[in-house]
Amino acid sequence: MHETSIALSLLNSLSELAEKERAKEVTKVRVRIGKLSGIVVDSFVFAFNALKPDYPKLGRAELLVEEVPSRYRCLDCGNEFEVETIYFPECTRCRSVNLKLISGEELEVVDVEIEV
C-alpha cells in the first residue's frame, strides 16, 4: 500500500509546481513505472485519482502511466530480452543467469502539463 504515500507525495510536488509556475491548474502528468519498481500501477492510479480533489489546482489532472518492462542483457551471449517474471530470470537464448538489468526499475515523473 505504499502506492498511496507515493501518490500523495506526487500530488504535493505537483501542487508546489503549480504555485511556482503560477499555473491555473495542472492538466496532465506523465510518469514512468518499471515492472520491478514494486509499484502496483492500478493502486497508484486509484490513489492519485481518489486524492486529487483535495488539491485546488489538481482536481482535473490526468495521470498518464507508461509501464516499463524489465529488460536484461545476457553477459554471456549478449542477447537482450524482456521478461514478465520477477523471479529468477534466465537468458532466453542460452539460459545463463549472468544478466544485467537494463530497465524495469523506473519510478519517475517525466513531465507535467499546466494551464497558465
Partner 1 sequence: MCDVCGCGHDHVHENRAVVSDDSTRRVVEIKKSLLDENERIAEVNRKHFDEKGVLAVNLISSPGSGKTTLLEKTIEALKGEFKIGVLEGDIETERDAERVRAKGAYAVQLTTGGACHLEAPLVHKGFHALEKQMNGGAPDILFIENVGNLVCPSSFYLGEHVRVVLVSVPEGPDKPAKYPKAFKTSNIFIITKSDLIPYFDFDVEKVKREALSLNPNLKVFVLSAKTGEGLEEWFNYLKELVRRKKGGK
Residues found near Zn ion in the complex (CB under 5 A): 74, 76-77, 79, 91, 93-94, 96
**Strand positions, DSSP E, the chain:** 25-34, 62-68, 70-74, 80-83, 99-103, 107-115
Which residue shows C-alpha cell 519517475?
108
Beta bridge partners of residue 4, listed in sequence order? none
> Can you read off the three cell numbers belonging to residue 77?
551471449
- Angstrom distance (rounded) from CA 13 to CA 52: 12
83 binds, among Zn ion, partner 1, none (CB under 5 to 8 A by kind): none
Residues 60-89 that bind partner 1 (CB under 8 A): 86-88
Within the chain, what is the greatest distance between any pair of CA atoms? 55
112 binds, among partner 1, Zn ion, none (CB under 5 to 8 A by kind): partner 1
Tell me which stretch binds partner 1 (CB under 8 A): 17-25, 52-60, 75-83: 17-25
Tell me which stretch binds partner 1 (CB under 8 A): 37-45, 50-58, 75-83: 37-45
Given 19, 21, 42, 66, the residue binding partner 1 (CB under 8 A): 21
Min dist CB 73 to Zn ion, Å, is 9
**Complex with partner 1: residue 75 or 86, whichever CB lies closer:** 86
Reduced DSSP (H G I as helix, E B as strand, rest coil) percent helix, strand, coil of the chain, to 5? 30, 35, 35
